[in-house]
Amino acid sequence: MKTDTPAIDKGMLAQCLREEYGQEVRALRFLPKGEEAYSYLAEGEGRSWFVKAYPPKLPVDLEAALGATDRLKREFGLAEVLPPHRTREGRATFRFGAFTVAVFDLIEGSAAYEEPLHPDEEIRLARFFAKLHSIDRGAFPGLPVKDFSLWFRDRLLSVLEFARTHEGGPKPHRWELVRRLREGYDGILRELETADRLGASCRASADAPALTHGDPTSGNVMKDTAGHLWVIDWGGLAWGAREQDLAPYTGEGFRRFLAAYAEESPDLRLSMDRFAFYLHEWNLQEIADYSYRLLHDDPDEEEIAYSFSELNQYLPVREGSVQAMLQRIEADMKQVLGKRA
């Protein structure tokens, strides 16, 4: 969850929205949703919009990624894609000070983590990703290619160095964070070494990349009140390994999900090393992100409590948990794919 930031003047942002989109914005209200971006509900004459303000220095080209989603929906028939509104100048985003802003239709419904998908909906989602991953690379040559590197490495190392050299400072939550990072220090470094080794192996044996969402977690899949599924938050759209998009679905029900996916992907080959890389990457990224916010942002009590509740899932590092997940994934792959696994 996020708390609002004084760096965004909502009155000025509302004025910019009027200028950029030609729509009257009567009110702009902060919504405590998402992780990286700041979210707002813009209310106009008879309708509302969802507004996201992305902070600077994100490792993505938001204009290129979000700008491609129109074509995914229009040319490739991916009805579940939620593209942004275009500005008067035809852009997918606009600049607001240091922030990059995009505007979307407001989806009335619930995210998949709030209301879990039914089996038939999981099957629809699996077929959606199979179709996304089948798009030819020539369709979007300007999108980046992911290389199994850890983009958050500097952030993770900076919080570990802080924990090693500081006592936490005057704020109690920093003392607690430093204590947890010190206790988990060796385990985090071992996980980082494992991810680096897996990344090198994946780079050496990489298949042709697929077009991937990059973060299709249950927070980025929504079901509206009419039962339509929406996949949102396409800022990480890039060419990469399809295992990154499949990894969030490797829990209960993965065998059913994979069977539906494989039906649409007759030449499917999946890699256990790539699954392992993305599972380790996820653990490390969550530690890096929540620790960095607690150290460098100015969170209120609610956000502090939320951040620690999330960190509890990853600290201390449970070094056997990824291996147990990989064993289940491998068993499901052998059951579904047979000799192709």
Convert the pLDDT of each residue in 111-130 to its tens digit.
999 999 999 999 999 999 99
Nearest to 125 by CA among 277, 240, 232, 226: 232
Task: Tell me: do 178 and 227 sit in the same domain.
Answer: yes
pLDDT band for position 38 (50/70/90)?
very high
Angle at 141 between CA 137 and CA 145, to 5 degrees: 80
Three-state secondary structure call for residue 48: strand
Q: Report whether 78 contacts 128 (CB < 8 A).
A: yes
Record the tokens describing residue 284, joined without a space.
């490390």
**Same structural domain, 197 and 265:** yes
Same domain, 314 and 217: yes
Taking only the tens place, the pLDDT of each residue in 186-206 is 999 999 999 999 999 999 997
Q: Where among 43, 77, 106 does a domain terminate?
A: 106
pLDDT for position 59: 82
- Let me know whether 48 and 122 are in one domain: no
**Same domain flag for 99 and 113:** no
Which among 64, 87, 106 is the end of a domain? 106
Domain shared by 232 and 273, yes or no: yes
Instruction: Tell whether 159 and 114 lie within a shared domain.
Output: yes
Whole-number pLDDT of residue 1: 63
State which of 47, 82, 106 marks the end of a domain: 106
* Average of per-residue pLDDT across 222-245: 97
DSSP one-letter code for 28: E
- Regarding whether 337 and 197 lie in a shared domain, the answer is yes
Residues 339 and 227 in one domain: yes
Which domain range does residue 292 map to? 108-341
Direct distance between the N- and C-terminal alpha carbons of the chain, in angstroms, rounded to an integer? 38
Domain CATH number, residue 244: 3.90.1200.10
The 10s digit of each residue's pLDDT in 297-318 is 888 898 899 999 999 999 999 9
228 and 243 co-located in one domain: yes
Between CA 318 and CA 49 the distance in angstroms is: 41
The pLDDT value given to residue 339: 66
| Residue 74 amino acid letter | R
Sheet with 229-231, side-by-side order of all strands: 109-111, 221-224, 229-231
pTM listed for this prediction: 0.95
Element (H, E) at 52: strand 48-54
Report the mean per-residue pLDDT for the chain.
Answer: 95
What's 3's domain CATH number? 3.30.200.20
One-letter amino acid at 308 equals F
Side-chain-facing half-sphere of 103: CA atoms under 13 Å: 27
Any idea what DSSP says for residue 292?
H
Q: Domain count for the chain, please give it.
A: 2
